[in-house]
Amino acid sequence: MKRKILALAAMAAAAGTANAQTSVTLYGVVDLGIEYVNRVATAPASPTTAVAGPPVGKRFDMPNQGGLSASRWGIRGTEDLGGGLKAFFTLESQFTADNGNFTGGSGLFNRQALVGLGNEYGKLSFGKQYSSFLDGMVNFSPTRFAPAYEPGIWWVGMDYKPNNTVKYMGQFGGLYASAHYSFGAGLPVSSFGSASTVLYNSGAGETPGAFRDDTAYGASLMYLGKSFGASIAYDQWNPAATVGNPGKVRKAGVAGSYTTGPLKFMAGYRWGDQTYANGNTAMRDDYWFAGVNYAVTPALDLQVGYFYSDIKKVSPTNTGTPTNPANPQQVSFVIDYTFTKRTDVYFSAAWTHNGSLGNDGPFTLFLFNYPQAPGQKNMVGMTAGIRHIF
């Protein structure tokens, strides 16, 4: 009799778990292609001049950052706690598909690692997660925030996925609100290359007696309707190269889109101001973009984007005199053909003038390996690849 009671109790417990509507999902993306780039420098950038040196040559290889998406895998889950309240978590790891390594030599869940609670009024989450500035801007990206050639990091900033973050997200019809605060945004030292360590240097966050070091915060408000979309966002990061001496990296952006039939038009602007701990200017710039997406057929999609950076002042060191360099501009083009909802092939191409592809440089820390040699005016890149989503 006792065994029967225990068996019934176990069955009841299992049924209770099922009724709680718990779900766990394994997901991911693998994106890899073959790339050709002309006139790319092979020497590393100087930490004082922030300019790469000769020789300059062509490169033909596999780009490790992916063409349309960063390769990643993750686990996410939810549990219904009753009364409209749900618990959720996400653990996500980014890797380089050409060699299987974790991106930037960082930890296992280097893209997202968060847990939170949510109800009809929104979600509150804790951990490593995307900034509210990215939440507000990414839907207006001309090439959908593709790693190949769109100046995405230049646009949203190095701190677009801060550590140690408390974040709120709410959706009210077509209106989306997001706000976050990071106690120490932190970036792996290996991500920085040799330039701009005087300003960034991975931060020195969560240090006793220096609570402002490496903190970050921001907010965004976005509307997405059937035809019209618009967003406004602000972000601030206080990276500390040395303890107790935080600099200041601020961004504010606006963007909009209009969709009619198979066409989607988008444009936006981002104000940027970066200062060293002593108050001297690291960089002051205005970033503009515009683009159009055209669904030729349900399977074939074309994307074109134009990007322009007005760099008003830039100084690689905190004691140097700011200069006003030539302004980078770029045109990017993507052809994407979808076989199924999970697999597509693509061709991406870009031409840039007065800069490197994707505005890759000292203030995006050469993350995408497109160093520009002194005196170089133009660079062209082309990538053909395949993406599989699971």
252-261, pLDDT tens digit by residue? 999 999 999 9
Q: How many residues does the chain have?
A: 390
Question: What secondary structure, in 3-state letters, does the chain show?
Answer: CHHHHHHHHHHHHHHHHHHCCCEEEEEEEEEEEEEEEEEEECCCECCCCCCECCCEEEEEECCCCCCCCCCEEEEEEEEEEECCEEEEEEEEEEECCCCCCEHHHCCCCCCEEEEEEEECCEEEEEEECCCHHHHHHHHHCCCCCCCCCCCHHHHHCCCCCCCCEEEEEEEECCEEEEEEEECCCCCCHHHCCCCCCCCCCCCCCCECCECCCCCEEEEEEEEECCCEEEEEEEEEECCECCCCCECEEEEEEEEEEEEECCEEEEEEEEEEEEECCCCCEEEEEEEEEEEEEEECCCCEEEEEEEEEEEEEEECCCCCCCCECCCCCEEEEEEEEEECCCCEEEEEEEEEEECCCHHHCCCCCCCCCCCCCCCCCCEEEEEEEEEEEEC
Comparing C-alpha atoms, which of 150, 128, 126 is closest to residue 138? 150
Question: Domain 24-389 sits in which CATH superfamily?
Answer: Porin (2.40.160.10)
What per-residue confidence (pLDDT) applies to 105? 63
User: Rounded CA gap, 118 and 368, in Å?
Assistant: 36
Separation in Å, CA 195 to CA 58, 128, 200, 226? 23, 25, 9, 43
User: Rounded CA gap, 313 and 328, in Å?
Assistant: 13
What per-residue confidence (pLDDT) applies to 188? 52
User: Rounded CA gap, 315 and 319, in Å?
Assistant: 8
Asked whether the whole model's pTM tops 0.85, one would answer yes
What pLDDT digit, counting tens, does each position of 325-344 carry?
899 999 999 999 999 999 99
What per-residue confidence (pLDDT) applies to 190? 42
What pLDDT digit, counting tens, does each position of 271-319 carry?
999 999 999 998 999 999 999 999 999 999 999 999 999 999 988 788 8
What pLDDT digit, counting tens, does each position of 188-239 carry?
544 444 445 677 766 667 888 899 999 999 999 999 999 999 999 999 999 9
Helical (H) or strand (E) element with 8: helix 2-19
Domain ranges of the chain: 24-389
Ranges 27-31, 83-87, 360-364: which has the least confidence: 360-364
Whether the pLDDT of residue 8 is over 80: the answer is: no
- Reported as a pLDDT band with limits 50, 70 and 90, residue 346 is very high
DSSP class of 191: G
What per-residue confidence (pLDDT) applies to 18? 42
What per-residue confidence (pLDDT) applies to 30? 97
Comparing C-alpha atoms, which of 143, 55, 36 is closest to residue 380? 36
DSSP class of 19: H
What per-residue confidence (pLDDT) applies to 271? 98
User: Rounded CA gap, 181 and 164, in Å?
Assistant: 8
The SS3 assignment for 383 reads strand
**Token pair of 49 as six digits:** 């001049």
